[in-house]
Amino acid sequence: MGAPTKGAIRLATASPATQATTQETLSQLEQLASRAAAAQADLLLLPEAYLGGYPRGSDFGCRVGARTAEGRDEFLRYFQAAVDLGDTVGPGCAGAGDAWVKRQLPGAHDSGEHAVEVATAIRDAHPKVTTKQRGDGTREELERIARETGVFIVVGLVEKAGGSLYCAVVYVSPDHGMIGKRRKVQPTGTERLIWAQGSPATLKAVTTTIRGVRINLAAAICWENYMPLLRQSLYQQNINLYLAPTADGRDAWLALMRTIALEGRCFVVSSNMCVRGGSGSSEQQQQQQQHQRVGAAAATRGRELSHRVASPPHAHTTRRRNSCLTDEGFEIALPRAASAGAAITSGSSSPPRARKERRRSIFDADGNEIVLPCDEKASAGADVVMEVDEGVDVSAVDDAQKQKQQEVGGGGIATTATGKLPNTVADSFVSRGGSSIVSPFGDVIAGPQWEDDQGIIYADVDFEDCIRGRLDLDAAGSYSRNDSFKFSVEGLDLDPLPY
């Protein structure tokens, strides 16, 4: 790949999966940054919770009014896998802000020989930077990678501070180290069980200069992007680069990214993990695979199944009635009395023929119904992929899996304990990725990157397109009617950053 054209900035994103340990993930991150540098990329975005891991499918043994000892042990392991950046909880869970960024917090400690080497390298490269280390060294390692590769890195991580975990994003400059960090304001659904709410004060945008171009950037994490007022808080700060690390791998996500690009007249970069299933995945990935694996359509189907549990004797049941097909191919539901094997005529003068049972079918992750082979063994033993995206209620799915072979009369989902759909692409992925780059006019200029956990996608962009787009739409200025609508965010300075 050649060098970017004059005035262009090369943006990059990828869909890597969290590795078994933090150190392995950092090593993978360094490899990605080195490859991006070799391709002369200027900025690289990586997914939500990339460091620490997104616990897809884990319930941590919690139900309303009940906890399990095993679930608490699982949370302990997850907490230990989170990174310690040396920040405080801070007022409203905002952290220490500029004091953390500028390394002004007391209580630094020496974590050993590696910490000394890192501190020495930072001091040599940046004499004005204080090299006291707080935390586990992850901050220093990320700063080293950015410095040595020359790539501005934005990465999602799970941060521990005090006794709580925060889903966070850090902005790592090759010249100045970490210039900002923000914590997810509103964890989605059951994420709230394990991640604390961050302060909206952390929505502060940051600014950097790359190739002589001033870039104002900020991140909204996953379903924060569905919060209109949160998006407005970023537009209000005059950003021209909007970053969206996520765990949402649905096709619909790209439509949201295009809307944000058009709405904010900014470049949008999104990154989501591509997580492979199978025996080759990490233990954490296998745990993820074991639980949530159903698409929105299949989840709906699973909820239907969850109500078809075995009933006590003489109880009313809701099983699907048997049916048959006419000569013309129409399906006719049979009366319950006729379900036991009666023949049926099609209404023509032709003689009665044997009833044709409706063949069994299943639904794939995209909601398409697939008719199974006639072979009885195949019909009885077919599995279903259960791919669940963030925000989908799958409480019924586990119950549906447990009632294996409860469906009677055809037309339902035949499931087994493995919970997999045979011979489909989705069989190999817990999360399909979907990373992308979108222009201020809503055009997809790179990606979406499906089912690729190794590659990096790039786009050379002209940030003056953001100004060109504001000729007719400026969500924080001429188009906002700020004479009529008043907008403020607690603890956040919304004064726009300069161009």
Classify residue 61 by burial, with Cβ atoms within 10 Å: 0-12, 13-18, 19+: middle
Catalytic residue among 93, 167, 222, 466: 222
- 441 CB contacts (<8 Å, ≥6 apart)? 261, 262, 465, 469
Q: Active-site residue among 140, 143, 160, 184? A: 184
Closest Cα to residue 218, out of 265, 268, 261, 175?
A: 268
> What is d(CA 243, CA 257) in angstroms, rounded to the nearest whole number?
10
Number of CB atoms found within 10 A of residue 425's CB: 13
Instruction: Establish whether 356 is a catalytic residue.
Output: no
Instruction: Look up 48 and say whether it is catalytic.
Output: yes
Does residue 222 have an active-site annotation?
Answer: yes
Residue type, 368: N
Q: In Å, how far are 152, 241, 273, 419, 496 from 207, measured between CA atoms?
A: 12, 10, 26, 46, 11
Q: Would you name the residues annotated as active-site residues?
A: 48, 184, 222
